[in-house]
Amino acid sequence: MSYLKLKRYFKDEKTKKDVQFTLLLLLILTGAVIFVNIGLRVILNTDTPIVVVEGRSMEPTFYEGDLLIVKGVPPEDIENGSIIVFWAEWSNTLVVHRVIAIVNSSGELYFYTKGDNPETNPVADPYPVPAKDVKGVVIFCIPRIGLITILLNKYGLIIPVSIVLIILIIQTILSSEETPKNKKKSVKSIRKSERTTFIEFLYDITFLSKF
């Protein structure tokens, strides 16, 4: 597959329309995601309505790649055993853990949390979580659907770009057929090569016959 074939491929009108349709579809999907995210923030009363589980700390309740729906609730409505999403200052990340104790200190609630996995989280989290850092309570889980998000965060745009390139290469190979003119040139080149080889053969025979 040569550069000229790729150039011809992308100059094709059908290819241009396919690319335009794909870009339009991506634009629509992006807009839909943004719209849904804004809508969920309002409906669920939290700035973090969707969270993807990373790591194994909540197994077997949740697994890596699970997509969680989070609802903002008043701190006083959170109970022992609730699974909350909060901003952990000690790690500067969002964490999904279970509440194991609640303490009221000077009128402010603090939540002690712990992961469900006894292997990765044998003890409680190092610090209590103040109510102001709680984003909400997990109300729904969609298994594994968030794995693509983890991959994108981990590898950036390498994976999607690679997939697109592979698809384009396959399409190019399947659609790149030689024109009759090219075939004629190819046959002509072969014949010329055969004539050259035959002439060289005759020359070699003539040269060797002198000895």
Distance of CA 48 to CAs 174, 183, 190, Å?
45, 61, 67
Closest Cα partner for 135 from 62, 71, 199? 71
Determine the 3-state secondary structure of 180 from DSSP: helix
Token pair for 193: 């090569």
| Catalytic pick among 97, 106, 189, 209 | 97
Burial class of residue 89 (count of CB atoms within 10 Å of its CB; 0-12, 13-18, 19+): exposed
Q: Is 97 a catalytic residue?
A: yes
Q: Write out the DSSP string of 55-67.
A: SSTTTTTS-TT-E
Q: Is 91 a catalytic residue?
A: no
Give the phi and the psi of residue 100 in degrees, each rounded to 5. Answer: -115, -10
Q: Is 176 a catalytic residue?
A: no
| Catalytic pick among 125, 133, 162, 209 | 125
| Catalytic pick among 18, 57, 82, 175 | 57
Catalytically active residues, by annotation:
57, 97, 125
